[in-house]
Amino acid sequence: MKIRKGDEVIVLAGKDKGATGKVLRVLPRDERVVVEGVNLITKNIKADQQRAGKESGRVTVEAPLHVSNVALVEGGKPVRVGYRINEDGTKVRISRRSGKEI
3-class secondary-structure state, position 46: coil
Structural domain count, the chain: 1
Average pLDDT estimate for 60-64: 95
Residue 22 is assigned to a structural domain of this protein: yes
CATH of the domain at 24: 2.30.30.30
Residue 89 is assigned to a structural domain of this protein: yes
Residue 100 is assigned to a structural domain of this protein: no
pTM of the model: 0.85
Domain housing 12:
8-95
Residue 2 is assigned to a structural domain of this protein: no
Tell me how far apart the alpha carbons of residues 45 and 41 are, in angstroms, rounded to a whole number.
12
Residue 80 is assigned to a structural domain of this protein: yes
Residue 1 is assigned to a structural domain of this protein: no
Burial 67-92 (b: 16+ CB within 10 A, else e): bebbbbebeeeebebeeeeeeeeeee
Residue 20 is assigned to a structural domain of this protein: yes
Q: What is the pLDDT of residues 19-58, one digit of tens each?
A: 999 999 999 999 999 999 999 999 998 887 777 766 778 8
Residue 101 is assigned to a structural domain of this protein: no
Residue 79 has a pLDDT of 96
Tell me how far apart the alpha carbons of residues 64 and 83 are, in angstroms, rounded to a whole number.
25
